[in-house]
Structure 1
Amino acid sequence: MEYSVKSGNPEKQRSACVVVGVFESRRLSSAAARIDEASGGFLTQLGRRGDMEGRLGQTLMLTNVPDTLCDRVLLVGCGREREFDDGAYRQAVAAMTNALHDSGAVEAVSYLPDLPVKARDNIWRVREAVQTVDSTLYRFDRLKSRKDTPRRPLRKLTLSVPSRRDLAPGERAAREGHAIAQGMGVARDLGNLPGNICTPTYLADQARELAEQYERLEVDILGPGEMEELGMGALLSVARGSRQEPRLIVMRYRGTDSDARPYALVGKGVTFDSGGISIKPAAAMDEMKFDMCGAASVFGTVKSVLELELPINVVGVVAATENMPDGNASKPGDIVTTASGQTVEILNTDAEGRLALCDALTYTERFNPETVIDIATLTGACIIALGHEAHAVLGNHHSLVSELMHAGRATADRCWELPLWDEYQEALNSNFADMANVGGRPAGTITAACFLSRFTKKQRWAHLDIAGTAWKSGDQKGATGRPVPLLTQYLIDRT
């Protein structure tokens, strides 16, 4: 898809389609009103006949609109104007995208970014429109023998800005939106792949391919031998039951001076999680291919950063492994030594993500990062606490947590802070090791973060638990690409 921005009156656009909004009840947006005036009240007459009420998501494609230069005019219902918020705007853009996709129009000019969204400026509306269009058009059909391809797919979308002085900021917004959308696409593709394809070795190969495409990216891959030498007993313990060898994937993006401290992203990459000896119930176990979505979000964010060529340094570290039951698998009661030298009693082998992450976090110290953010589908307790709307965020540095929450609000990819008080640490006490890997059912998301905090005391660190947000179930089953928007915005803000 090609995106551009322009300013100009809708009735004067020579295009296959011009898109304008209509609010309830039949209230024309400013762009729609201009077309109505130019056409001698053509849109008003349609409204009076009941063809377009303006309900949110409603669409009406018109041809031969008098005294306009475009082939078609698409009316998009936007609901009640006073309730037109972030979610309603995305619904309207998605409805526009689906209608254009089915229309055969290969290009269009959209005036939806001119609509007044509460507390959002035109720059946000342009960027969000690009992300929403790409997300709506996303299809994962690479493994289907027959693909549903449109007869004439939409190839170019031009987005309206109020005036010529808004062109440069608008172009930057479109570029940022497209880069974030590409990153989300990478994360969704990796998440949606089945575990028999997306193995730790496959993820390592994807990192190498990225490095071949972009000169600013360097990649190092560590195998079991290197992990053994580094004392990564926790990460290796997760992989013991699998025939797939683990990989520690390190992606280093250099966007500025080599001595500038990087921002580190650390992702949980459990490419399939059976639970190990503490095996999961069979129902919906297929969704455990999504247990590497933390790693996928690191890949996606690195992709976005590469596209934007941000003037900062970034390190992405992915702990990639399977968690499978086997005669050689870790058992409840086993004790392992981590790369930090601390020992862990494994009380539940299904709490494996933190074991993989703790060694990856220790490894990340060598880069002397400015901040460290780990991303993981870590706990089902997070879904109980926050549902499927917000990521949980916890950390040892208040400013970092606040910056992440700000980035989430800016992108509508929100997170919510949970406490990380010292009192919760007691739940991890063990009679036989420095700590246990689980702390019981109460406050499971918090005690999991407490575990990780013991490996990040030297760092400005935050933890994002994305167990409730990384994928959807049911008819819309699939990876969401979150929190790539939040992470990319956080890094944009650092510039």
Structure 2
Amino acid sequence: MEVKVLNTDLAQIKDEAVAITFFEGEKVLKGKGKQLDSLLSGGISNLIKSGDFTGKAGQVAVFYPQNGYGTKRVFLIGLGKKEKFDLDKIRAAGGRAVQKAKELKLKRFAFIYPDNLPAKFQNQDVAQALTEGVILANYEMAKYKTVDKDKIISIEDVTLIEKDSKKSSAINKGREIGEITSWSACLTRDWVNFPPNELTPTKLGEESKKLALKYNVKCQVLSPEEIKKLGMGALLGVAKGSQEPCRFIILEYNGGRKTESPVVLVGKGITFDSGGISIKPAENMDQMKGDMAGAATVISAGLGAARLKLPVNLVVLVPTTENLPSGTAYKPGDILTSMSGKTIEVLNTDAEGRVVLADALAYASRYKPQAVIDLATLTGACVVALGNVAAGMLGTDDKLKNRLKDASKKTAEKLWELPLFEEYEEQIKSNIADVKNTGGRPAGAITAAYFLKMFADGYPWVHLDIAGMDLEEKGKAYVPKGGSGYGVRLLIQMLRDWRR
């Protein structure tokens, strides 16, 4: 999809459809709404008076002009009550316009840039949110479909209409940022949606290398032999059950000062998780192809940061493998020696994500980082606690947590802080090793994070448990069913704000 900005009067719009937003209860039309209503011979005000369109959040009405106006259809999109407006409302409005255009089998439409938003919202931010909404809503995984593929509707271009050329620079800047953040999120969606027989650890490494080369990011993909030399016994232990070799992916982007320590992003990269010997139930096991969502998120965010040329130094670390049962698989009762030298007693092979992350977190210390953030679809316990609404956030540094909270508010990618009280450590103490890989059912999301804390030595650290957020089951305004891309825009926003 191409998103472009056009400086023209509303009377000059000629397109398959034009979308415009209104607040709930907006009975006296002003500005562009009033002008368009006049061009439509009072059609909009008549719809509002009749009660057929109220402006309620999420409402979409289609008006068909009969007076010769240059556009065949007008989409009226509700933003809800003005006092409750935030940027996600305009993001959702863009998404709903795309949904309606697809429903009507259109290829393109125009969107009248809003002029009735509260003054505190800057044009660049509004344009970014609107661009994200239309691109993210247009996403569809059609790569593997062969029947009736020609019937799949995809919007080819959206034109943002703004007559005032003085606003063009800010709107275009927002559009450019929105295109990159959306591209990054859609890359994560692709990888989460890809089948595990295609997106193996080897393939994830190859794709990372290819994209890194394209966007001038340094990339190394370590083989099992190289991983062994580093002493990553935790990652190698989990990988023993699969014939697919594991990989350790390292991306490095240097946009900041040479003397500046990097921010490190770490992502869990289990390309298929059967649970191993502690095997999962068959129902919904297919969704475990998405157990590499953390990896996809941090790689995509890193590439997005590079494309935006952000003034930060950034490292992305991904331990990636399959977790399968076999005659060579690691077993309950095994003890693994991690890169840090700490030993891990394995009680449950389905708690493998934290095991592979242990080695990546130890490796992160080599960079003497400013901060380390890891993302992982780590625990079902986090889904029980927070559902499919927010990721769980736990960590050791309040400033870093606040950075993520601020980015969450701007991107509407929700998170919620959980505690890391010292008492939780008791649940993961082992009688025969330094730590065991599960603390049982009570506070499962917290004890999993506490396990990670034991390997996050010497730097500010935050863990995001994105289980429950990686897949969208029902479909929302700009998040179709399947891989959601959650966390990508959150991380990019945090990195954009890093120096503020």
TM-score where L is the length of structure 2:
0.91
Task: Determine what percentage of the aligned residue pairs are the same residue.
Answer: 38
1:98 maps to 99
Q: Work out whether 1:57 is the aligned partner of 2:56.
A: no
Amino acid at match of 1:356: V
Distance verdict in 2 for CA 1:489–1:464, change over 3 Å? same
* Deviation sequence 1:335-387 (CA, Å, 0-9, x none): 11110011111111111001100101111222222211111000111111111
Figure out how many residues of one structure are paired with residues of the other and give that number: 493
1:85–1:117 contact (8 Å) kept in structure 2: no
CA drift at 1:406 = 0.8
Q: Work out whether 1:482 is the aligned partner of 2:489.
A: no
CA drift at 1:466 = 0.2
CA drift at 1:168 = 2.2
What's the secondary structure of 2:179's corresponding residue? helix
How many Å separate the matches in 2 of 1:302 and 1:410?
Answer: 19
What's the secondary structure of 1:114's corresponding residue? coil
Match of 1:492 among 477, 486, 496: 496
CA drift at 1:424 = 1.4
How many Å separate the matches in 2 of 1:34 and 1:80?
Answer: 22
Distance verdict in 2 for CA 1:22–1:398, change over 3 Å? closer
How many Å separate the matches in 2 of 1:151 and 1:407?
Answer: 34
How many Å separate the matches in 2 of 1:153 and 1:472?
Answer: 20
> After the TM superposition, which residues 464-483 of structure 1 pair with which residues of structure 2 at under 5 Å, given as runs?
464-473=464-473, 477-483=481-487
Amino acid at match of 2:338: T
2:270–2:321 contact (8 Å) kept in structure 1: yes
Amino acid at match of 1:350: D
2:420 maps to 420
How many Å separate the matches in 2 of 1:115 and 1:343?
Answer: 60
Distance verdict in 2 for CA 1:95–1:150, change over 3 Å? farther
1:113–1:160 contact (8 Å) kept in structure 2: no
CA drift at 1:76 = 2.5
> After the TM superposition, which residues 134-283 of structure 1 pair with which residues of structure 2 at under 5 Å, given as runs?
134-146=135-147, 148-149=149-150, 153-160=154-161, 163-214=164-215, 216-283=216-283
What's the secondary structure of 2:167's corresponding residue? helix
1:336–1:345 contact (8 Å) kept in structure 2: yes
Amino acid at match of 1:238: V
What's the secondary structure of 2:325's corresponding residue? coil
1:470–1:479 contact (8 Å) kept in structure 2: yes
How many Å separate the matches in 2 of 1:191 and 1:152?
Answer: 22
Distance verdict in 2 for CA 1:449–1:50, change over 3 Å? closer
Distance verdict in 2 for CA 1:147–1:231, change over 3 Å? farther
How many Å separate the matches in 2 of 1:90 and 1:310?
Answer: 23
CA drift at 1:271 = 0.5
CA drift at 1:163 = 4.6
How many Å separate the matches in 2 of 1:166 and 1:379?
Answer: 46
How many Å separate the matches in 2 of 1:44 and 1:431?
Answer: 74
How many Å separate the matches in 1 of 2:454 and 2:383?
Answer: 24
CA drift at 1:44 = 2.7
1:363 maps to 363
Distance verdict in 2 for CA 1:119–1:248, change over 3 Å? same
How many Å separate the matches in 2 of 1:402 and 1:299?
Answer: 22
Distance verdict in 2 for CA 1:162–1:63, change over 3 Å? closer
CA drift at 1:224 = 1.1
* Deviation sequence 1:86-128 (CA, Å, 0-9, x none): 5544443222112233456554331254353797444333212
2:88–2:129 contact (8 Å) kept in structure 1: no
Amino acid at match of 1:255: G
- Which stretch of structure 1 is more off in the superposition, 255-264 or 133-142? 255-264
Q: Work out whether 1:131 is the aligned partner of 2:135.
A: no
Q: Give the alignment's Cα RMSD to 1 decimal.
A: 2.5
- Which stretch of structure 1 is more off in the superposition, 273-282 or 8-17? 8-17
How many Å separate the matches in 2 of 1:277 and 1:477?
Answer: 31
CA drift at 1:16 = 4.5
> After the TM superposition, which residues 368-447 of structure 1 pair with which residues of structure 2 at under 5 Å, given as runs?
368-447=368-447
Amino acid at match of 2:181: I
How many Å separate the matches in 2 of 1:428 and 1:52?
Answer: 57
How many Å separate the matches in 1 of 2:137 and 2:410?
Answer: 20
How many Å separate the matches in 1 of 2:383 and 2:112?
Answer: 37
1:313 maps to 313
What's the secondary structure of 1:469's corresponding residue? coil
2:289 maps to 289
1:62–1:74 contact (8 Å) kept in structure 2: no
CA drift at 1:32 = 2.2
How many Å separate the matches in 1 of 2:240 and 2:78?
Answer: 55
Gaps of 5+ in 1: none
1:114–1:162 contact (8 Å) kept in structure 2: no
Q: Work out whether 1:33 is the aligned partner of 2:34.
A: yes
Distance verdict in 2 for CA 1:65–1:86, change over 3 Å? farther
CA drift at 1:479 = 0.9
CA drift at 1:426 = 1.6
Amino acid at match of 1:480: S
How many Å separate the matches in 2 of 1:411 and 1:59?
Answer: 27
